[in-house]
């Protein structure tokens, strides 16, 4: 597997613009002849499909949801970062770049992250022009809030529904192109495999989730914008349908998978309440602007929070990280919460929780101000828990949320399969070992609006692409494999439900490959996953048939892929014999329990190559060269 | 607690469908309504029956995928919430619960509680957008927008497109949905250039689908999980009439 990141030469700040000046162009007449497949209609996919349609390409967009408007980007709450410096607090493109690369614990590619910061401002312009009702100051200018890992206020937001509004903006741009006839959207259609012809990505195999019809769609390039894989943990903040299948199938066809063990466990989620629980709900990080995190100083203190006097509380984030306090980055806050609970100071049922307390802010600002800022989040909390967070502190606990790992891409966002581009959370490129808050929306839209539409042209203009039809041998062979796999899932006819396997896998992964990891635990997990996967293929029960709306069949295919991914995550976590960002190997920590990086051996990206069923995957390495930033121990103290 | 569920079962669009009754033991109060259905489905699968199909995704009230009628009320009897945000603490031991899909000609049932809401996408495709090419936007702060206007627009922009408004309307009207988008964009300066054209195109698209008309029952507003106000419908009517009178009906290519 050849890994050439194709980072342009020249000073960091000039790389992107000088590349853009020299990228090959596709003429308008030729754009009309090119067909592009976009899988996923979230921020990255929706924005890319709309932009490519505007440019004149023929675009087919696919999503598993019943409408492109429901992609999981919609659930992002807090905001989107940009280097506008509207607050006059000293922000700049360089600072946003630096915070992001430091936030990722120096495990991301410098040039990609700089470009992300560079295009961030254009995203805000674009979104405002689309009619996204961002929060405003009374004077009419845009408002900002603060997010973790930054000492400037650069996050733009629309109440607690920023992701929803940005997604509906991209969806409206997509609709305009559907009306113009450049984009055709295929909702309730799931990608089940990638078609590779002569070493290039040329199509996908899909299943119509209503009729069950399996089809091949061909194109000149394939863009995957299918999100992350936190649902490998079963309980996560992801939507129930989020899955790794598109990415995993592409990996099996030759796309390298980078840093699969880099996952983000988000610090502020509502704790699990019972065994029947189907998902975990995030409480936006923005709450930490005004909420203070604490646990009782004494172990096993069972008093109600209001009965614990100030002197007997440990505001541990403020104590340990005085410079950033409650706005310490996610990986650090999550680990700290886990440590408090491991020490026996957790609160609530099961003692896996910490308090997020607004009493001080309500006293200082009044309940109305807090209601205006976070009202919908408070309501959401009350609906789920039955407790009123205006009266008593929220209880929160970390939950799997975002995956920084993903398919390896070069500077052009192209994977190791020519013609296969990967955008947004599905790729690995920008967040290193930990993503900062409000950076996911920024990256999705950067990739979709401002990067892929340009870099794709370079590929199309430079590639000799023969005509491929769905009757092509490669299409038929891939389609046949998909049919066989479906038949195999339906044919097991065992006695255990898909969910029971998924839950068991999730518990195993959270325990062994979650917030803290050890060589011993990971080795055991690899064996246990193998056994569970074996049991799945002998005991799973998938009712119904293939040629109908069959939600259990959909889930079964996804869980089968999650098993394979889970194993790779553990292998990657084992191979990365250091701690960095969200990847915390207990063997590698500083005396005060912080992640201890090993830059000598691991200042790199691990890229895994699939080598066939049953064979061990091969690990390749892309070294990370830092020309501009100085590698330092990441400190928020 | 124990519950008796009467659930609408329908194999596909052609099947006439009907209610089936299930008994559920050991429902806990912390469960969400959808988690209660998950438990039912696990039982059904184990017993060799087909599970109940229903749309759902984010399970935190924002994607708009879930939605069905619970005891006659769209999304159930909790104000301003979707089904996935409804928890079982609002039910009591021994309750009978009737669960059925959205009922509207424009939303054909695909299976059990799953309906086809693509009519909503077609309406928004007709004009529910501001035409701005990627990269052609002016500096974001070049258009000051009063905080109140942005917040007012946001009140309408929050629509999740779930379809509860249609399902609860005696006329199966989609006017709260359409009005919400027209109001959202019409309240902002960026939305002005296409305002009349948008109203015409969207109203015409709405009429092409099998939706009825508003007769001011306000049932839509009562069940809307985002509590969107019917003043959006008034805004839609105003923009539509203004467009007709000003003759800016080029969107449809015909004179009215």
Structural domain spans, chain A? 32-265+402-462, 266-401
Contact B61 A380 (CB under 8 A): yes
Q: Chain A to chain B, count of Cβ pairs less than 8 Å apart?
A: 220
* Residue A38 β-bridge partners: A61, A223
Q: Are A620 and A609 in contact (CB under 8 A)?
A: yes
CA proximity to B80, closest of B216, B195, B222, B194:
B222
Residue from the list A133, A142, A552 with its beta carbon closest to the beta carbon of B153: A133
Residue A506 has pLDDT above 50, yes or no: yes
**B158·A449 Cβ contact <8 A:** no
Interface of A with B in 161-190 (CB under 8 A): 161, 164-165, 168, 171-173, 175-176, 178-179, 185, 187
Residues A74, B188: C-beta atoms closer than 8 Å? no
Tell me if domain A32-265+402-462 and domain A266-401 are identical in fold.
no
**Which of B38, B124, B147 faces A278 most closely, judged by CB atoms?**
B38
Q: What is residue B256's predicted lDDT score, i.e. its pLDDT? A: 42
Q: Which of the residues A42, A56, A184, A240 would you substitute to probe the B interface, choosing the one with the greatest number of B C-beta atoms within 10 Å?
A: A240
Q: Name the band, by pLDDT with cuts 50, 70 and 90, for residue A147.
A: confident
Average pLDDT for A442-457: 98
Q: Give B217's contacts (C-beta < 8 A, 6+ positions apart).
A: B169, B170, B171
CB A378 within 8 A of CB B59: no
The answer to whether A555 and A546 are in contact (CB under 8 A) is no
**Residue A442: which H helix or E strand, with range?**
helix A440-445
Contact status, residue B128 vs residue A130, Cβ threshold 8 Å: no
- Looking at domain A32-265+402-462, its CATH superfamily turns out to be FAD/NAD(P)-binding domain (3.50.50.60)
Interchain CB distance below 8 Å, A67 and B118: yes
Distance separating alpha carbons of residues A472 and A219, to the nearest angstrom: 12
Q: What residues 509-568 of chain A have any CB closer than 8 A to a CB of chain B?
A: 541, 543-544, 548-549, 551-552
How far is residue A146's CA from residue A630's CA, in Å, rounded to a whole number? 25
pLDDT number for residue A613: 87
What is the topology classification, in CATH, of domain B117-246?
Fumarate Reductase Iron-sulfur Protein; Chain B, domain 2 (1.10.1060)
pLDDT band at A482 (very low <50, low <70, confident <90, very high): very high
Q: Closest-CA residue in chain B for A137?
A: B147
Domain assignments of chain B as residue spans, ordered by start: 3-111, 117-246
Spatial CA neighbour of B234 closest among B183, B191, B197: B183
Interface membership of B14 toward A (CB under 8 Å): no
Q: How far is A22 from A141, CA to CA, in rounded Å?
A: 36
| Location of structure tokens 């915070």 | A99
Q: Which CATH class is domain A266-401?
A: alpha beta
Q: Is B147 on the interface with A (CB under 8 A)?
A: yes
Question: Which residues of chain B lie closer than 8 angstroms to A399, CB-CB?
Answer: none
d(CA A179, CA A185): 11
Instruction: Establish whether domains B3-111 and B117-246 are of one fold.
Output: no
CA-based nearest distance A484→chain B, Å: 22
Kindly state the average pLDDT of the residues B238-253. Answer: 78
Q: For B134-183, how does the pLDDT look when each residue is reduced to its tens digit (9 = 90+)?
A: 999 999 999 999 999 999 999 999 999 999 999 999 999 999 999 999 99
Residue of B nearest to A166 (CA): B157
For residues A457-465, average pLDDT: 95
Q: Tokens for A173?
A: 């741009």
For residue range B182-231, list pLDDT tens digits in order: 999 999 999 999 999 999 999 999 999 999 999 999 999 999 999 999 99
What CATH class is the domain B3-111? alpha beta
Cβ-defined contact of B121 to A54 (cutoff 8 Å): no
């Amino acid at each position: 597997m050849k890994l050439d990141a194709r980072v342009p030469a020249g000073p960091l700040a000039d790389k992107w613009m000088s590349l853009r000046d020299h990228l090959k162009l596709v003429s308008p007449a030729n754009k009309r002849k090119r067909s592009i497949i976009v899988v996923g209609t979230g921020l990255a996919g929706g924005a890319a499909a709309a932009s490519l349609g505007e440019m004149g390409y023929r675009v087919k967009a696919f999503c598993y949801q019943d409408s492109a408007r429901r992609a999981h980007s919609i659930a992002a709450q807090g905001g989107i970062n940009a280097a506008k410096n509207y607050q006059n607090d000293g922000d700049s493109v360089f600072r946003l770049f630096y915070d992001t690369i430091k936030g990722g614990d120096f495990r991301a590619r410098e040039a990609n992250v700089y470009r992300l910061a560079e295009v961030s401002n254009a995203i805000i312009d674009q979104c405002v022009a689309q009619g996204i009702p961002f929060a405003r100051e009374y004077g009419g200018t845009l408002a900002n809030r603060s997010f973790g890992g930054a000492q400037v206020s650069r996050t733009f937001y629309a109440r607690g529904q920023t992701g929803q509004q940005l997604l509906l903006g991209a969806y409206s741009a997509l609709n305009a192109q559907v009306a113009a006839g450049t984009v055709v959207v295929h909702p309730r259609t799931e990608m089940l495999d990638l078609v590779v012809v002569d070493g290039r990505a040329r199509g996908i195999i899909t299943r119509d989730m209503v009729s069950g019809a399996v089809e091949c769609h061909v194109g000149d390039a394939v863009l995957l914008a299918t999100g992350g894989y936190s649902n490998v943990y079963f309980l996560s903040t992801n939507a129930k349908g989020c899955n790794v299948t598109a990415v995993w199938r592409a990996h099996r066809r030759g796309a390298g998978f980078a840093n699969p063990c880099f996952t983000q466990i988000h610090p502020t989620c509502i704790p699990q309440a019972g065994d029947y629980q189907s998902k975990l709900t995030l409480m936006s990080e923005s709450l930490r602007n005004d909420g203070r995190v604490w646990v009782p100083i004494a172990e096993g203190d069972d008093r109600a929070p209001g009965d614990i006097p100030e002197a007997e509380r440990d505001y541990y984030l403020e104590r340990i990280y005085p410079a950033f306090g409650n706005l310490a980055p996610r990986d650090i806050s999550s680990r700290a919460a886990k440590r408090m609970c491991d020490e026996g100071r957790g609160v609530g049922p099961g003692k896996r929780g910490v308090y997020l307390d607004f009493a001080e802010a309500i006293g200082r600002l009044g309940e109305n101000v807090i209601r205006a800022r976070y009202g919908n989040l408070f309501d959401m909390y009350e609906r789920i828990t039955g407790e009123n967070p205006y009266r008593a502190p929220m209880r929160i606990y970390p939950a799997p949320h975002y995956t920084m790992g993903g398919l390896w891409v070069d500077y052009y966002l192209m994977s190791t399969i020519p013609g296969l581009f990967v955008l947004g959370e599905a790729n690995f490129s920008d967040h290193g070992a930990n993503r900062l808050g409000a950076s996911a929306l920024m990256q999705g839209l950067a990739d979709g609006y401002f990067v892929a539409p340009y870099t794709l042209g370079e590929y199309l203009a430079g590639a000799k692409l023969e005509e491929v039809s769905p009757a092509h041998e490669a299409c038929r062979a891939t389609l046949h494999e998909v049919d066989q796999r479906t038949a195999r899932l339906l044919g097991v006819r065992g006695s255990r439900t898909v969910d029971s396997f998924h839950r068991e896998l999730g518990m195993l992964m959270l325990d062994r490959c979650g917030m803290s990891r050890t060589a011993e635990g990971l080795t055991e997990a690899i064996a246990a996953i193998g056994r569970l996967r074996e049991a799945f293929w002998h005991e799973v029960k998938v009712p119904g048939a293939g040629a109908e709306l069959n939600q259990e069949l959909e889930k079964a295919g996804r869980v089968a892929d999650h098993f394979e991914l889970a194993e790779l995550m553990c292998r990657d976590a084992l191979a990365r014999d250091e701690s960095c960002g969200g990847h915390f190997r207990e063997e590698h920590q500083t005396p005060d329990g912080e992640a201890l990086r090993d830059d000598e051996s691991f200042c790199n990206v691990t890229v895994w190559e699939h080598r066939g069923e049953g064979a061990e995957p091969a690990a390749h390495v892309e070294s990370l060269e830092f020309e501009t930033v100085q590698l330092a121990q990441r400190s928020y103290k | 607690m124990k519950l008796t569920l009467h659930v609408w079962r329908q194999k596909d669009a052609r099947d006439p469908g009907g209610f089936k009754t299930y008994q559920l033991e050991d429902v806990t109060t912390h469960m969400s309504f959808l988690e209660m259905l998950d438990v039912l489905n696990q039982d059904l699968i184990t017993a060799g029956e087909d599970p109940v199909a229903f749309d759902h995704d984010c399970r935190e009230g924002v994607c708009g995928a879930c939605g069905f009628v619970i005891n006659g009320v769209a999304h159930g009897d909790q104000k301003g919430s979707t089904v996935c945000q409804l928890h079982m603490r609002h039910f009591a031991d021994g309750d009978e619960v009737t669960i059925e899909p959205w009922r509207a000609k424009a939303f054909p049932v695909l299976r059990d509680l799953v309906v086809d809401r693509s009519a909503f996408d077609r309406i928004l495709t007709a004009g529910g957008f501001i035409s701005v090419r990627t990269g052609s936007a002016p500096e974001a702060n070049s258009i000051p927008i009063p905080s109140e206007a942005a917040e007012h627009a946001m009140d309408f922009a929050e629509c999740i497109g779930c379809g509860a408004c249609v399902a609860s309307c005696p006329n199966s009207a989609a006017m709260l949905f359409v009005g919400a988008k027209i109001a959202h964009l019409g309240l902002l300066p960026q939305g002005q250039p296409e305002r009349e054209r948008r109203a015409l195109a969207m109203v015409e698209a709405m009429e092409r689908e099998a939706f009825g008309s508003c007769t001011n029952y306000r049932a839509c507003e009562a069940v809307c999980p985002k509590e969107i106000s019917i003043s959006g419908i008034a805004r839609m009517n105003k923009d539509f009439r203004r467009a007709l009178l000003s003759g800016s009906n080029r969107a449809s290519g015909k004179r009215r």
